[in-house]
Structure 1
């Protein structure tokens, strides 16, 4: 009788420890996922406050409306702001290097984001737009349009920020679904 009780206790003990280990592993994985998410989101916005301070000190910009990021061969914060005369400007602030060469564009000289989006919609009917952001490639200001086309390709389309003409386009085929 005593051996039977020990066998039942050992069977339940094994089940208890297995469940405890499984719960601890699950909690550990959840905590790691939360930490990883927080770290990725923090790195995504890293340097934005520094960029704001530098732009406000080094340029005639007095009000910053928004800051986006463009990642190409070089990475830039794209700053949308206004100067004292309420003229809207777009400034490309390089993220790398100590010497910062700013590229400033008068927003009144560029095609609006809405016009580029309308032009894109007329050219690509069954496409899924992902993002439109100003880009700077080889010191040429462009609009970067990122979308999926009807053939399920990932497209990076670069259009002139001044007249909407195509600068270059990359079509990537998905290997894995």
Structure 2
């Protein structure tokens, strides 16, 4: 009798946990889809981008939607967008992402790159690379978008 009761309680708790996990996952996915749709609307209304290749997000002093795409002439472009602001630039003038990845692998061979997105701070445009070293510390590196020079770097230690 007690074994059935305990088994029943465990089953109910597992069902509640599974339902909560499903709800959380669907909320996150739904939020991401809403973000993508909102950004697509901004692109259509406020830019010359006719083909969206990818949408990412930069979170710095300000958060931006970062859109890679092509304009009417087929030129690769990048746009940083918020509800109020739109900043565009030609991507063909930038240091390619692959070149920055190679520099990071060369300078931090034991680290794992966890993210790479173009950032914007005032007029400064850069590649922000996030990596984790073998000690678990996170490094944030900013490489100038146009010449590839390191602008800033800082390290956060795990708690």
TM-score calculated relative to the size of structure 2: 0.92
**Alignment size in residue pairs:** 159
SS in 2 for 1:85: coil
Compare CA radii of gyration and give the structure with the larger one: 1
1:6 aligned residue: none
**5+ unaligned residues in a row in structure 1: which ranges?**
1-11
Q: Name the CA distance, whole Å, in 2 between partners of 1:21 and 1:123.
A: 54
Q: Which has the higher contact order (CA 8 A, sep 6+)?
A: 2
Question: Does 2:36 align with 1:48?
Answer: yes
Q: What do you get for the CA RMSD once the two structures are aligned?
A: 1.5
SS in 1 for 2:74: coil
The CA deviation string for residues 32-61 of structure 1, in whole angstroms up to 9 with x for no partner, is 111112212322343211211221222221
The CA deviation string for residues 96-130 of structure 1, in whole angstroms up to 9 with x for no partner, is x5xx2211111111100001111111211211111
**Equivalent of 2:140 in 137, 156, 171:** 156
SS in 2 for 1:66: strand
Q: Is the 8 A contact 2:55 2:66 kept in 1?
A: yes
Q: Is the 8 A contact 2:139 2:156 kept in 1?
A: yes
Q: Name the CA distance, whole Å, in 2 between partners of 1:21 and 1:88.
A: 58
More displaced 10-residue stretch of structure 1: 128-137 or 15-24: 15-24
2:118 aligned residue: 134
Shift of 1:171: 0.3
Deviation beyond 4 Å, 4+ runs, structure 1 = none
